[in-house]
């Protein structure tokens, strides 16, 4: 398969409440920045297909796909929606280019959780209506609590380790302009917090954030028309482990295992230790270590305690702060990690892996291997 | 649009559907599985043979489940493999097939299961209520429009610009319900007359009850495989030769409603890929999207199978009948088979697939067919998806 280059990327928001712009205006701003980043391209003439990633219930609009084309320049063009995480959209863009139907594809995703008044109720609607929803769960974080406990029991990761993840990521976020939840915390600050659902406290749980991200993809033939130093996606995969909570095997990110095996074989990458950085979903502190483990890194607890994943060490994980510092922009979460990875590689690193997750209550995620 | 044909050949080798009914007792997951099982059976495959799953479903609010793709993954066989949901409103059904095509054509997967499902019966008080929230929240929602209103505007505009009468349009309903009588999956097949349509209840003038497709539950599934391995499973693979899709802008009030320009774009993309230069001469059978009877005529024109405003005349002459020059909706279409939105779109592709394979049974058209086109339409009268297949 042909490599696909990221030739432009733009973002807007990453604020807890973008009160002065609608989601469509945020999409437009992010798209403008992405097209500027891709050498000032004209989307009306130079883009072959557009993909938007969104879900109706997050938008509060039925058939929210109707609003996809205008802000990104996709009207009267092949535009479609992938109802999933931005990284799944990226994979669809990758496929459109490799199928020969397009040379340049724009992938967009956005989130405006500040408009959602009943966030936990919306999450509850994603649960099985027969088996799970009827249980009237008071707090959807309980799924993460179960998952975390099982993961910690299996791998020996301790509550202190989770606190260290929180400290590392929230501090790393101070280096970017996109991290409203970045802060300098001490271990006591984290450990003294009351548990929301054991073993997770308020600071272990990332918060939703408003944001839009637009990525411009181009085939090998076309990439250098727009950018001298494209970031290549050499492998990409996504997978669903299970869609039913009652049948899921908790404690292990099987979706990341499956997705990474697809992406690594496509990229001919033998081991995740051979890249310069990992950008993994850390909506809950334990998820960072769980995803790193599922990418194929063994003994995560020991490695983490040795400082393996800290910045400046062998394999920095979320050196831009991850979701704990930035918040997670719903379906744009995967693209926000891609954005971090692209920035990181433009600063000099030569390769990175991105691993996304769709959040509670799903068992779906994607993995992309990127090289300069 | 680049369509340089470097892609791998992709074949459809199996298809399956549940019956379309007003109210199915199965859950959405169960319906998705029933259709998937039938498609796998026809292809001679098991679920373990499938590399990737593509899911299509229209508004989440119908099934009342957020992240419906995740929920359906279980029934559609999308567990422990790449599984994703594509979405372009009412045009989702054919988009699901298109996504199945590019999963294979890109080299990402060898064998793909494309599944579309819709359960509208759970909508209360009526599934139409889901459409109360499809509008621009600031400029349109406060007016509380109804979907049938805006289609009434489109129908009126089509009739006015092309000087078409209600009688001429009613012929579509008569034809499709007659065709559906020989479709074992159909919900509303039967012999009706133009008079029946004209005497049916007026919903929003000029739309009457028999001008509209029913509310339905149903699921449909297809198996697409890499062309290199297709003949391992069947002697008669049906080839996907062209795909196209287009979204117009959101502001439907500014649009000329008499002609679907976005459909022409999508059709041109698909025809160019399939090497079709004279659609009316080269296409043997067509399944245009017909949630309303006028939409079939509208879409036949958009697909360039009739000149603008000429489709009603050709219909009257029998050009689009089952034994006509280009049989249109030989399955019975949405008007006859039912309209579980995404599943109805994929049903259109399946109908063409069965026609080209020669296994459509009583639905089989009289003359030999080699090139077929399936099309779907959706969003705020702005989306169209087209697929060209050959045997």
pLDDT for res B222:
98
Q: B304's torsion region: left (phi>0), alpha (psi -120 to 50) or beta? A: left
Q: Where are the domains of chain B?
A: 8-123+211-388
- A64-96: pLDDT as tens digits: 999 999 999 999 999 999 999 999 999 999 999
Percent with pLDDT over 90 in chain B = 88
pLDDT at residue A24 tops 80? yes
Are the beta carbons of B210 and B188 closer than 8 angstroms?
no
Chain centre to alpha carbon of residue B38: 19
Q: Please tell me the predicted confidence (pLDDT) of residue A206.
A: 97
| Residue pLDDT, tens place only, A322-337 | 999 999 999 999 999 9
- Alpha carbons within 13 angstroms on the beta-carbon side of residue B146 total 11
Burial of B158 (0-12, 13-18, 19+ CB in 10 A): buried
- Domains of chain A plus CATH, in order, are 2-115+206-224 (3.40.47.10)
Closest C-alpha to A344, from A244, A277, A253: A277
Mean pLDDT, residues A146-163 taken together: 96
* Residue-level pLDDT at B131: 87
Please, which pLDDT band fits residue B137 given cuts at 50, 70 and 90?
confident
Q: In angstroms, rounded to a whole number, what is the distance separating the alpha carbons of residues B339 and B147?
A: 15
Q: Region B4-19: what's the mean pLDDT? A: 86
Q: Which residue has the higher pLDDT, A18 or B123?
A: A18
pLDDT score of B373 more than 80:
yes
Shortest alpha-carbon distance between residue B216 and chain A (Å)? 18
Would you give the DSSP letter of residue A364? E
What is the rounded average pLDDT of the residues A19-26?
Answer: 95
Instruction: Say yes or no to pLDDT of B1 above 50.
Output: no
* pLDDT reading at B227 higher than 80: yes
Q: For B230-234, what is the mean pLDDT?
A: 95
| Span A214-245, pLDDT tens digits | 999 999 999 999 999 999 999 999 999 987 78
**CATH assignment of B8-123+211-388?**
3.40.47.10
| Test the A interface: residue of B26, B84, B93 with most A CBs within 10 Å | B84
Q: Is the peptide bond before A278 cis (omega within 30 degrees of 0)?
A: no
d(CA A316, CA A330): 24
Picking from A36, A38, A33, the residue whose alpha carbon sits closest to that of residue A216 is A38
Closest among B230, B105, B51 to A1, alpha carbons compared: B105
What are the tens digits of pLDDT across the range A251-310? 999 999 999 999 999 999 999 999 999 999 999 999 999 999 999 999 999 999 999 999
pLDDT above 90 for A180? yes
Q: Which residues of A touch B69 (CB under 8 A)?
A: 83-84
Q: What is the per-residue pLDDT for B6?
A: 62
Is pLDDT of B126 > 90? no
Q: What is the pLDDT of residue B5?
A: 53
Token pair, residue B136, equals 């621009």
Q: State both tokens at A54.
A: 């969104």
Nearest-CB residue to A57 (from B27, B60, B136): B60
Q: What pLDDT does residue B2 have?
A: 47
d(CA B355, CA B371) in angstroms, rounded, equals: 10
- Spell out which residues of chain B touch residue A81, defining contact as CB-CB under 8 Å: 86-88
pTM to 2 decimal places:
0.97
Average pLDDT over chain B, rounded to whole?
94
Q: 3-state class of B322 per DSSP? A: coil
The pLDDT score that the predictor gives to residue A66 is 93
Average pLDDT rounded to a whole number, residues A169-182: 95
Q: Please state at what angle helix B147-162 crosses helix B166-180, rounded to 10 degrees.
A: 120
Q: Is residue B252 within 8 Å of B175, Cβ to Cβ?
A: no
Nearest CA among A130, A76, A325 for reference residue A247: A130
Q: How far is A169 from chain B (nearest CA, A)?
A: 28
- In the predicted model, is pLDDT for residue B40 greater than 80? yes
Residue B325 has pLDDT above 80, yes or no: yes
Which of B70, B73, B134 is the closest to A126 by Cβ? B70
């Amino acid at each position: 398969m042909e490599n696909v280059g990221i030739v432009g990327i733009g973002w807007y928001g990453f604020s807890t409440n973008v009160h002065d712009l609608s989601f469509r205006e945020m999409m437009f701003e992010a798209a403008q920045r992405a097209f500027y980043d891709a050498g000032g391209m004209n989307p009306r003439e130079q883009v072959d297909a557009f993909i938007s990633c969104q879900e109706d219930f997050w938008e509060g609009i039925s058939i929210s796909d109707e609003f996809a084309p205008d802000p990104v320049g996709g009207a009267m063009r092949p535009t479609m929606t992938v109802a999933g995480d931005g990284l799944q959209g990226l994979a669809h863009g990758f496929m459109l280019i490799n199928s020969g139907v397009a040379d340049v594809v724009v992938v967009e995703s956005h989130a405006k959780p500040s408009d959602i008044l009943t966030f936990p109720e919306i999450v509850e609607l994603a649960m099985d209506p027969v088996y799970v929803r009827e249980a009237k769960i008071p707090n959807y974080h309980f799924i993460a609590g179960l998952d975390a406990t099982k993961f910690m029991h299996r791998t020996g990761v301790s509550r202190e380790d989770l606190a260290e993840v929180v400290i590392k990521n929230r501090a790393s976020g101070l280096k970017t302009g996109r991290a409203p939840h970045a802060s300098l915390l001490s271990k006591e600050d984290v450990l003294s917090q009351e548990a929301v659902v054991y073993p997770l406290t308020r600071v272990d749980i990332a918060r939703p954030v408003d944001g839009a991200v637009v990525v411009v993809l181009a085939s090998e033939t076309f990439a250098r028309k727009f950018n001298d130093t494209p970031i290549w996606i050499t492998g990409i995969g996504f997978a669903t482990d299970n869609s039913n909570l009652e049948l899921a095997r908790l404690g292990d990110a099987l979706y990341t295992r499956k997705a990474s095996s697809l992406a690594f074989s496509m990229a001919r990458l033998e081991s995740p230790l051979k890249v310069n950085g990992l950008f993994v979903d850390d909506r809950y502190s334990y998820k960072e270590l769980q995803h790193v483990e599922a990418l194929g890194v063994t003994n995560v607890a020991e490695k983490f305690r040795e400082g393996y994943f800290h910045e400046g060490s062998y394999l920095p994980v979320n050196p831009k702060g991850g979701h704990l510092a930035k918040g997670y922009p719903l379906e744009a979460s995967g693209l926000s990690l891609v954005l971090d990875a692209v920035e990181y590689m433009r600063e000099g690193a030569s390769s990175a892996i991105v691993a996304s997750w769709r959040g509670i209550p799903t068992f779906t995620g994607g993995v992309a291997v990127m090289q300069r | 649009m680049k369509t340089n044909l470097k892609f791998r050949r992709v074949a459809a080798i199996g298809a399956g559907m549940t019956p379309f009914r007003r109210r199915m007792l199965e859950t959405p997951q169960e319906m998705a599985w029933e259709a998937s099982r039938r498609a796998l059976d026809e292809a001679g495959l098991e679920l373990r043979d499938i590399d990737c799953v593509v899911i299509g479903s229209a508004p989440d609010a119908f099934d009342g489940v957020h992240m419906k793709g995740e929920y359906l993954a279980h029934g559609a066989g999308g567990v422990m493999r790449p599984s994703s949901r594509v979405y372009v409103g009412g045009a989702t059904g054919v988009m699901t097939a298109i996504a199945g095509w590019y999963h294979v054509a890109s080299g990402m997967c060898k064998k793909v299961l494309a599944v579309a499902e819709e359960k509208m019966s759970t909508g209360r008080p009526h599934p139409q209520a889901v459409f109360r929230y499809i509008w621009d929240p600031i400029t349109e929602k406060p007016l509380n429009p109804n979907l049938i209103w805006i289609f009434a505007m489109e129908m009126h505009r089509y009739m006015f610009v092309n000087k078409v009468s209600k009688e001429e349009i009613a012929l579509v309903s008569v034809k499709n319900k007659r065709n559906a009588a020989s479709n074992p999956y159909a919900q509303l097949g039967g012999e009706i007359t133009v008079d029946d349509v004209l005497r049916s209840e007026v919903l929003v003038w000029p739309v009457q009850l028999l001008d509209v497709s029913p509310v339905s539950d149903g699921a449909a599934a297809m198996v697409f495989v890499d062309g290199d391995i297709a003949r391992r499973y069947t002697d008669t693979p049906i080839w996907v030769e062209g795909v196209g899709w287009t979204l117009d802008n959101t502001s439907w009030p500014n649009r000329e409603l008499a002609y679907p320009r976005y459909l022409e774009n999508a059709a041109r993309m698909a025809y160019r890929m399939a090497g079709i230069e004279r659609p009316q001469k080269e296409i043997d059978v067509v399944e245009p999207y017909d949630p309303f009877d006028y939409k079939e005529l509208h879409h036949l024109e958009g697909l360039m199978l009739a000149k603008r405003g000429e489709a009603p005349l050709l219909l009257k002459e029998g050009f689009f009948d089952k034994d006509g020059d280009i049989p249109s909706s030989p399955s019975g279409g949405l008007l006859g088979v039912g309209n579980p939105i995404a599943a109805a779109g994929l049903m259109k592709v399946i109908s063409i697939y069965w026609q080209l394979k020669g296994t459509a049974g009583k639905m089989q058209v009289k003359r030999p067919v080699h090139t077929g086109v399936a099309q779907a339409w959706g969003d705020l009268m702005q989306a169209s998806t087209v697929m060209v297949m050959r045997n």
